[in-house]
Chain A
Amino acid sequence: MSEHHIKLPEGSIEKQTTTLNLGPTHPATHGVFQNILELDGERIVSAEQTVGYIHRAFEKIAERRPLYQITPLTDRLNYCSAPINNMGWHITCEKLLNVKTPKRVDYLRIIIMELARISDHLICNSIVGVDTGAFTGFVYVMQYRELIYEIYEEICGSRLTTNIGRIGGFERNFTNAAFQKLEKFLNEYPAVLKEFENLFTRNRIFMERTMGVGPISAERAINFGFTGPNLRAAGVDYDVRVHSPYSSYEDMDFEIPVGSTGDCYDRFLVRNQEMYQSISIIRQAYQKVQEFKGAEAEIFHADVPEYYLPEKKDVYTKMEALIWHFKIVMGEIDMPKGEVYNSVEGANGELGFYLISDGGRAPYRLHFRRPCFIYYQAYEEMSRGSMLSDAIILMSSLNLIAGEMDG
């Protein structure tokens, strides 16, 4: 044998299967995941998923930060729908601190959360499209995600990692420009979504690529801790917004779309329908916001000076606000002792916050229940026996967000 011959590792000839490293930074995995796939031809025999490439120790960092400084950490969990994380965190703090928010704040929060849900589902569904070979839908809907980001920008000044709101409400009232953009969105988006749907839902290629791919039964999904659209696609109508309403979701009238087989196609359909429901929720909330008149229409935070970080212009001009600002920023205000678990319906599942306070200024322990992390472990079971190309679609249709997985 000449020395130019490639030297194969021992035993590799006898091996019947191929090992393929998909990731950690494979363009088709949309994030930093490593999948070690064992392939027989193109069929997946087994998969081993690895996470942890962007672990940032948020839970540890949170153990010495005052509550309002933890909000920016939550942004970076599911960064496709950061406002939901922010609101979930504020609602958790409010539960611990016993703060009651005014109705107008609740409705404004609902508007923001549902916009975030739409932008998240939009990304997920259009990426499923890209992975099946249809790029058009993705590029087309992107301008409406942009519009949603502009609405965030009007409200809090930032776009992706929003740090939106405060404990007790918002940092400032919504501007007219924000409402105008919201109206523009509500007027234009449904038609766009319809068109987006037309591109995919009855598209033969899309249907054949996604139907029956990566199915999961309702029973297995529950056992695997699935929540959100992935669980609903398997036929379980569990939605935190309905089962344990927060932020006055009980005032809204909406439906929970469910699928039946839990495959990629069902997940796609459930997300699409949820976007329609979100639009309807936003309309209802917006209408309720408009019904407030006079002084009530100016309320954008609860009256809790000891926890609500005051507006900057008040800090400069009012003694009271200056004192509270100082006390909050310097961490002079202790929180009550307690243990609270609170969850909100994140865009990809139940996002929970388990907060233990020992009475200090920072949490004693904070744990994020990150839906992605929990349901990604089902990937092996769901992808076994399918083709390599299906594994990619499965990954994007589960809506895995690397930031949320690594906490």
Chain B
Amino acid sequence: MSLTYDHIKSKLTEKFSDQVTNFEELYGMLSFEAPKEMNLKVMQFLFDEPDLNFRFLTDLTSVHYPDNAGRELAVVYHLHNLVDNVRVRFKVFTDINSPDVFTAANLFSAANWMERETYDFYGINFIGHPNLKRILNVDEMDYFPMRKEFPLEDQTRIDKDDDMFGR
């Protein structure tokens, strides 16, 4: 297609100089990273720029890396240019103690629930979100279950007396 990853790369570097970093191509998809204050600026630029045209938010989610001090939580956006059929992955990292990231809900209506889901499971506080409350879990829940500090039950545990149910 007409839009190449090199072109996207040069466009982003031209606009944001060294703010947008970590360009890599993993399994055929361009991936890059920006400081979390910049997330909206970068996405707006990708959205508005006539030859970039990333107008479709495919996916928004978060990943927890407990060992990455100061950048424990990653918010991952998958953006899609439907005209040239090009996808990119855009990441911002945030500290787990102040997980504040600007909301993309005003740019993409689709981000509304995806951000609520991300908040629900990872506790990312999306600043400016119109209705940031839990979506899949109960409202009373006071922790964020997809974080790595909540392991699943140990499959080898023996302290459970559950003769009837196998373990």
Tell me, yes or no, whether A194 is within 8 Å of chain B by CB: no
Tell me, yes or no, whether B113 is within 8 Å of chain A by CB: yes
**Contact residues in B for A55 (Cβ distance below 8 Å):** 136-137
The docked-state distance in angstroms from the alpha carbon of A407 to that of B113 is: 13
The docked-state distance in angstroms from the alpha carbon of A203 to that of B134 is: 43
| Identity of the chain A residue whose Cβ is nearest the Cβ of B76 in the assembled complex | A354
| Identity of the chain B residue whose Cβ is nearest the Cβ of A56 in the assembled complex | B136
Q: Does B26 lie within 8 Å of A225, measured CB to CB?
A: no
Known: A96-B27, A222-B82. A369 touches B59 (CB 8 A): yes
Total A-B Cβ pairs within 8 A: 90
Q: Does A338 lie within 8 Å of B27, measured CB to CB?
A: yes
Known: A96-B27, A354-B76. A374 touches B114 (CB 8 A): yes
**Contact residues in A for B64 (Cβ distance below 8 Å):** 365
Tell me, yes or no, whether B39 is within 8 Å of chain A by CB: no
Count of chain A residues near B, Cβ 8 A: 40
Q: Mark B84-121, 1 if CB is under 8 A from A, else 0.
A: 01010100000000000000000011101110010001
Tell me, yes or no, whether B57 is within 8 Å of chain A by CB: yes
Q: Does B135 lie within 8 Å of A225, measured CB to CB?
A: no
Which chain B residues numbered 113 to 164 have a C-beta less than 8 Å away from chain A? Answer: 113-114, 117, 121, 134-138, 145-146, 152, 155
Tell me, yes or no, whether B11 is within 8 Å of chain A by CB: no
Tell me, yes or no, whether A63 is within 8 Å of chain B by CB: yes
**Contact residues in B for A60 (Cβ distance below 8 Å):** 145-146, 152
**Contact residues in A for B59 (Cβ distance below 8 Å):** 341, 352, 354, 367, 369
Known: A222-B56, A338-B26, A369-B58. A407 touches B136 (CB 8 A): yes
| Identity of the chain B residue whose Cβ is nearest the Cβ of A373 in the assembled complex | B113
Q: Is the interface of A mostly helix, strand, loop or mixed?
A: mixed
**Contact residues in B for A236 (Cβ distance below 8 Å):** 82
Tell me, yes or no, whether A289 is within 8 Å of chain B by CB: no
Q: Does B56 lie within 8 Å of A341, measured CB to CB?
A: no
CB distance from A13 to the nearest CB of B (A): 29
Known: A52-B136, A57-B145, A60-B145. A339 touches B56 (CB 8 A): no
Q: Mark A317-356, 1 if CB is under 8 A from B, else 0.
A: 0000000000000000000001111010000001010101
**Contact residues in B for A63 (Cβ distance below 8 Å):** 152
| Identity of the chain B residue whose Cβ is nearest the Cβ of A60 in the assembled complex | B146
The docked-state distance in angstroms from the alpha carbon of A144 to that of B29 is: 40
Tell me, yes or no, whether B78 is within 8 Å of chain A by CB: yes
Which chain B residues numbered 55 to 87 have a C-beta less than 8 Å away from chain A? Answer: 55-59, 61, 63-64, 76, 78, 82, 85, 87
The docked-state distance in angstroms from the alpha carbon of A57 to that of B87 is: 27
**Contact residues in B for A365 (Cβ distance below 8 Å):** 63-64
Q: Does B137 lie within 8 Å of A52, measured CB to CB?
A: yes
* B interface residue numbers (CB < 8 A to A): 26-27, 29, 31, 55-59, 61, 63-64, 76, 78, 82, 85, 87, 89, 108-110, 112-114, 117, 121, 134-138, 145-146, 152, 155
A-B CB proximity, top 6 nearest: A225-B110, A52-B136, A55-B136, A367-B61, A340-B27, A369-B59
Q: 27 A-B Cβ contacts within 8 A?
A: A51-B136, A52-B137, A59-B146, A60-B146, A60-B152, A64-B155, A222-B55, A223-B108, A223-B109, A224-B109, A225-B57, A225-B58, A225-B114, A243-B85, A338-B26, A338-B27, A340-B26, A341-B58, A343-B58, A352-B78, A354-B76, A354-B78, A364-B63, A373-B114, A373-B117, A376-B113, A377-B110
* A interface residue numbers (CB < 8 A to B): 51-52, 55, 57, 59-61, 63-64, 95-96, 220, 222-225, 236, 238, 243-244, 338-341, 343, 350, 352, 354, 356, 364-365, 367, 369, 373-374, 376-378, 406-407
